[in-house]
Amino acid sequence: MKKIIALVMAAMMLLVCCSALADAPEGYPEVKEGIDFGGKDVYIYNYWDSADWTERMSGDLSDEQQAQVDYRHWLEETYNVKLHEIMRGDWGTCAEEMTNFVSTPEDDKLAIFIIEPGKVGSLVGNGMAAPIDYDLSAEKWNQADISLFTKDGKPYGLYTGASEPRQCLYFNKRVLTEANIDWNTIYDMQKDGTWTWAAFEDMLKTITRDTDNDGVNDIFGLIGSRDDMECCAVFTNGGAFFDLDADGKLQPAMDSDAVKEALTWATDTWSQYSAPTPEDANWDWFKEGWKQGYCGFYMYQTYGGFNENSEMADMADDWGCVAFPTPKEGGNYITINSDNITLIPSCYDAETVAKLTFIYDMWTNPTPGYDDEDSWIGNKYNFTDERAVDETYAMLREAAHVVVNRVVLLGTQNDVLGSQLLWALGGDNTAAALIEAGLPEWQARCDTYNGK
């Protein structure tokens, strides 16, 4: 009799499992048995949205938005969980918020934190983030980010999808045309692999001039972020500021000919062709200076022009955008990885970490039925010409053009490299001298990160 009852119970359990699997609507991921959050709230904390996702996605919704809402509610019902995505802290305090949470866990909720990249390394190095034991081989997972924030063979950081392009060179079409430069040729050179440092310099030289014959230049070749130019020069030249040794330990890597050559070129080029900094100007004076239309190129990042309500939204002149040039023809155009990284607090046991990773995996799936490969374009065509979007932005999203700057493992670029190297270059402060002077401190930072 007991055997019969056991067989009946087994059959019933099989029917329950089959029924649960059948509950997933067409196009939804299969239900994973054994995942039950017991009705708990899971908070995905970002640092930019003050309203929860249910507030943001209310009112008149498009079909795709409604489909996303339906999918998220299905996740909640299927896994007995209440999901939130809301701001906690801001760009400057998000890491502190996570540290406080690890120190004093809030038992009424489970938490996942999305952290700006410059603060992720310190959280990982200081034991605030949990190692991830999960299959991250699916195409959706960004392997550049996962490998960047892997320590001692264990991944700690998560990011899905293509990396957001960052560093780029904007150009003012009117200023170039008045200098007798056909701006389409820049796109053409980028396309055929001849957009080089030398070609860039030739254009800067042509653009920079005195148009009113008073003996002082009033049109300049370049404006923007010198830091970005220096870093792009280093990575296009095959250099790096920090790298991993044969044992996987982080070490300074800036004491190389490739780095010194790139920094010297970037400093010299900037000093010859960039617009002078006004007296008593704020650090970001160049943002308004660029829009005033007296410079040919703008070294900055994509969020300055391609996004809704971007800094360049009210710019009178039309602009285009190309990748930073390469030292020689046929080189690889690059953008430096700078994605927001998702971390799970280290106050949880391995089972809870696995459950949180799973629900984040499900949360970040494309909306069922709307897996649009071109969704990243959004309204970018409203800001500039098609070639900037289709040729430059699209190219820089590809993994082959994304490089990682391991400085983020030690802190922000400003804190680690700013005053000691990038901001100090020029005059007697050569790249070689600054690197020699800074190496002991950079080695000490690496030793701390490596656990020495």
Domain match, 239 and 302 both: yes
What total of structural domains would you count in the chain? Answer: 2
Q: How do residues 26-76 score in pLDDT, each as one tens digit?
A: 999 999 999 999 999 999 999 999 999 999 999 999 999 999 999 999 999
Residue 42 lies in a domain: yes
Whole-model pTM: value is 0.90
- pLDDT surpassing 50 at residue 195: yes
- pLDDT surpassing 60 at residue 414: yes
The pLDDT score that the predictor gives to residue 19 is 40
Q: How do residues 364-405 score in pLDDT, each as one tens digit?
A: 999 999 977 888 999 999 999 999 999 999 999 999 999 999
User: How far is it, in rounded angstroms, from Cα 433 to Cα 437?
Assistant: 6
Q: How do residues 289-312 score in pLDDT, each as one tens digit?
A: 999 999 999 999 999 999 888 999
The pLDDT score that the predictor gives to residue 445 is 96
- pLDDT surpassing 90 at residue 13: no
Domain match, 287 and 214 both: yes
Question: Which residues make beta-bridge pairs with 111?
Answer: 43
Domain match, 131 and 242 both: no
Q: How do residues 211-240 score in pLDDT, each as one tens digit?
A: 998 999 999 999 999 999 999 999 999 999
- DSSP assigned state of 238: T
User: How far is it, in rounded angstroms, from Cα 179 to Cα 355?
Assistant: 60
To 10 degrees, the CA torsion angle through 207, 211, 217, 223? -40
Domain match, 132 and 224 both: no
Host domain of residue 268: 177-336+394-449
The percentage of the chain sitting over the pLDDT mark of 70, rounded to a whole number, equals: 95
Mean pLDDT estimate for the chain: 93
- pLDDT surpassing 50 at residue 430: yes
Residue 384 lies in a domain: no
The pLDDT score that the predictor gives to residue 371 is 76
Domain match, 433 and 305 both: yes
The pair of structure tokens assigned to 171 is 């150009």
Residue 191 lies in a domain: yes
Domain match, 62 and 205 both: no
Domain match, 261 and 295 both: yes
- pLDDT surpassing 80 at residue 114: yes
The domain that contains 73 carries what CATH number?
Answer: 3.40.190.10
CA-nearest of 135, 98, 112 to 352 is 112
The pLDDT score that the predictor gives to residue 372 is 78
Element housing 113 (H / E): strand 109-115
Phi–psi pair at 133, nearest 5 degrees: -110, 85
Work out the pLDDT band at 11, boundaries 50, 70, 90.
Answer: very low
Pairing of strands 250-252, 242-244: antiparallel
Residue 109 lies in a domain: yes
The pair of structure tokens assigned to 286 is 């160049």
Q: How do residues 120-163 score in pLDDT, each as one tens digit?
A: 999 999 999 999 999 999 999 999 999 999 999 999 999 999 99
The pair of structure tokens assigned to 44 is 């995905």
CA-nearest of 293, 305, 298 to 388 is 305
Residue 401 lies in a domain: yes
